[in-house]
Structure 1
Amino acid sequence: MINREIIRIKIVQLTYAYYQNGNKNIDSAEKELFFSLSKAYDLYNYLLSLIVELTHESRRHLEVAQAKAKREGTEAPSQKFAYNKFAMQLEENKMLNEFMETQKKSWNSEPEFIKKLFVQITESQIYQEYLTSEDDSYDADRELWRKIYRTLIQNNETLDSILEEQSLYWNDDKEIVDTFVIKTIKRFEEKNKSKQELLPEYDSEEDRDYARKLFRATIMNADEYQRFMGEASRNWDFNRLAYMDVVIMQIAIAEIMTFPSIPISVTINEFVEIAKLYSTPRSSGYINGMLDAIARHLIQTGRLMKSIDEPKKKY
């Protein structure tokens, strides 16, 4: 699940913190990096468990409604949502249950939020259409939760506030993690039952090594990389730049120099996008031009054995 987009963002955050922190211990900083990455995986599981908790809430409401219908002799309420086939499969998922058993956090601490979100779901057109539909298939049940997640959970300010209060590490993670939750919902298959695999923390050991190498190269070769910046721009003035710009370019150069298989244009584009999120409004255009100039200078001087493609302008 933890992909290179998340890794790059975390390294920008941790490198910036490393220089702002008076105690510059690279081993401690590296441990903090991997702890921060692990928290993103925690969030992934926590958000999946939200679907389970909302299902439990629906059953509580169902029990009350059933008792009322029996008492008043009215039609029994629908059980369709409370026993949604996809939600029941997720509820029984071995990987999710094993993970959540190790966690101190649960949605039991947020009863008011769960109640409010459940009401929002039941009042939505998506829910009403689902209840009235004659399609009782597993695919329809799974699609319902994909729609609910995208419309009522993915962009939910109350949820964002709750997550921010629960962990400072989750401030910048949710937008990316949401995409993995939706991907997971779409990947579920009824035949896999409780053994359906969730996304692993890392797709491969290669990504973990990438994080370690990129972070260490950034810190240990800082003077050299900043010299490259100076050579590419004789008018270079660190005092006129946002410090975050320097950090972002330093990490980008580390990736360009350390990973031969990653095209230069990919690296530039990825860090230009990060600059849009973390630096000044003008930074992305400046960083795009500077990294392109630095890469060309390193190739011309024989210090970089890569070819350069024209980077796509995204600023």
Structure 2
Amino acid sequence: MINRRHIRVKVMQSVYALLQAKSDNLNKEEKFLYASIDKMYDLYALMLRLFVEVRNMEKKHIEISQKKFLATAEELKPNNKFINLEIFKLLGESVSLNTHLDTNNLNYWTLDNEYIHEILKLTKKSKLYISFMNAEKSSFQEEKEFIVALFKEVIAPNEKLADYFEDKNISWVDDIPFVNTWIVKTLNQIKPAQAFHLGNLYKDIDDRDFVVDLFRKVVLNHTEFEKEVIDKTPNWDTDRIADIDMILIKMAICEFLKFPSIPTRVTINEYIEVSKDYSTEKSSFFINGVLDKILKDFTTTKRMNKIGRGLL
């Protein structure tokens, strides 16, 4: 499921897009924001289905080889350990996964099966695969560890696959690292002989509401929040502050003032971490310094109304 940090990243991107476009169409941008998050769920489903497609392609290759007129002994009696993995079966028979793919017309692997061929080829060349196939027997846990390692070593780092996803949806460029982590967690949670169900996109309704609440409150108050930044950076011309840095600081101020249940330390830490991935090398230090000044001022003037102990 999507976490609050990635929600903040999505909101940051939408705030940036809205301000750069000098648009006041909140409803349009909100729909795009939610759609961007929904598309990330599509990427998650596609990556899970990728395992099934790789398995199906290998099964076809084996069946074709067995029917050859001059089939070798190895082709007549192939090692079926890979295609018989229970995890492939559980993913392939998943009603929720197949329903999501069908409902959203995510037939990418049928239309572009050369990427399946690429992953299968690299899989069979890998030392990981060769070692696994040479082992006589494996427990479900060992099979799961193999699949997780295969994903980490062969699928996740594949640049052709990453380029393909980028061509399909530009927002997936930023989503891939998060979805990769999500896939690993999902694989590790699969249990033997239990039907596989797609995880929820949001942890709960509060997280879904947080998306639009944060976006709206930042956009509607961004001029007011910018004044707070200017007051705490008298030696800085606003033009010298990176656009992303300014937006992240505004978002943090918004959480200080408009989200009473979010601890201030959590807010600061989250935006410092986001800045490390999306802004300049020194941004995290700058943002930390500005937010520290703003927090001290808000605390002294009692402008914050945090609910619960330890939230300041």
2:67 aligned residue: 67
What letter is aligned with 2:101?
M
Instruction: Say if 1:70 and 1:76, in contact at 8 Å, map to a contact too.
Output: no
Instruction: Say if 1:65 and 1:77, in contact at 8 Å, map to a contact too.
Output: no
Q: 1:104, CA displacement in angstroms?
A: 2.7
In structure 1, C-alpha distance between the alignment counterparts of 2:253 and 2:69, rounded to whole Å? 67
In structure 1, C-alpha distance between the alignment counterparts of 2:62 and 2:143, rounded to whole Å? 18
In structure 1, C-alpha distance between the alignment counterparts of 2:160 and 2:227, rounded to whole Å? 46
Instruction: Say if 2:5 and 2:274, in contact at 8 Å, map to a contact too.
Output: no
1:78 aligned residue: 79
Instruction: Say if 1:15 and 1:219, in contact at 8 Å, map to a contact too.
Output: yes
**Aligned pair in 2 of structure 1 residues 111, 84: CA closer, same or farther (>3 Å)?**
same
**Residues 121-270 of structure 1 aligned to structure 2 (within 5 Å):** 121-193=123-195, 196-270=196-270
Instruction: Say if 2:97 and 2:197, in contact at 8 Å, map to a contact too.
Output: no
Instruction: Say if 1:69 and 1:77, in contact at 8 Å, map to a contact too.
Output: no
**Residues 274-285 of structure 1 aligned to structure 2 (within 5 Å):** 274-285=274-285
In structure 1, C-alpha distance between the alignment counterparts of 2:51 and 2:252, rounded to whole Å? 38
Q: 1:223, CA displacement in angstroms?
A: 2.0
Paired-residue identity, %: 33
Let me know the Cα RMSD of the aligned residues. 1.9
Instruction: Say if 1:268 and 1:288, in contact at 8 Å, map to a contact too.
Output: yes
Deviates more, 1:70-79 or 1:110-119: 70-79
In structure 1, C-alpha distance between the alignment counterparts of 2:72 and 2:130, rounded to whole Å? 24
Q: Deviations over 1:201-220 (max 9, x none)?
A: 11110101111111111011
Q: Deviations over 1:157-213 (max 9, x none)?
A: 1111000001112110000011111111111112313xx222111111010111111
Instruction: Say if 1:225 and 1:250, in contact at 8 Å, map to a contact too.
Output: yes
Instruction: Say if 1:276 and 1:283, in contact at 8 Å, map to a contact too.
Output: yes
In structure 1, C-alpha distance between the alignment counterparts of 2:305 and 2:207, rounded to whole Å? 23
Q: Deviations over 1:103-138 (max 9, x none)?
A: 233212222221121011011111111111122332
**Aligned pair in 2 of structure 1 residues 22, 81: CA closer, same or farther (>3 Å)?**
same
TM normalised by structure 2 equals 0.93
1:300 aligned residue: 300
2:116 aligned residue: 114
Q: 1:222, CA displacement in angstroms?
A: 1.2
**Aligned pair in 2 of structure 1 residues 69, 80: CA closer, same or farther (>3 Å)?**
farther
Q: 1:140, CA displacement in angstroms?
A: 2.4
Q: Deviations over 1:28-84 (max 9, x none)?
A: 111111111111111111111111111111111211332349744556111111121
In structure 2, C-alpha distance between the alignment counterparts of 1:139 and 1:198, rounded to whole Å? 20
Counting matched residue pairs gives 308
Q: Deviations over 1:134-163 (max 9, x none)?
A: 223322222221111111112221111000
2:105 aligned residue: 104
2:93 aligned residue: 92
Instruction: Say if 2:48 and 2:183, in contact at 8 Å, map to a contact too.
Output: yes
TM normalised by structure 1 equals 0.92
Q: 1:22, CA displacement in angstroms?
A: 3.4
Instruction: Say if 2:262 and 2:311, in contact at 8 Å, map to a contact too.
Output: no
Deviates more, 1:110-119 or 1:176-185: 110-119
What letter is aligned with 1:15?
V
In structure 2, C-alpha distance between the alignment counterparts of 1:213 and 1:69, rounded to whole Å? 66
Unaligned 5+ runs, structure 2: none
Q: 1:92, CA displacement in angstroms?
A: 0.4
What letter is aligned with 1:271?
Y
In structure 1, C-alpha distance between the alignment counterparts of 2:244 and 2:219, rounded to whole Å? 14
Unaligned 5+ runs, structure 1: 311-315
In structure 1, C-alpha distance between the alignment counterparts of 2:169 and 2:73, rounded to whole Å? 48
Deviates more, 1:301-310 or 1:133-142: 301-310
In structure 2, C-alpha distance between the alignment counterparts of 1:50 and 1:5, rounded to whole Å? 27
Instruction: Say if 1:275 and 1:283, in contact at 8 Å, map to a contact too.
Output: yes
Instruction: Say if 2:214 and 2:251, in contact at 8 Å, map to a contact too.
Output: yes
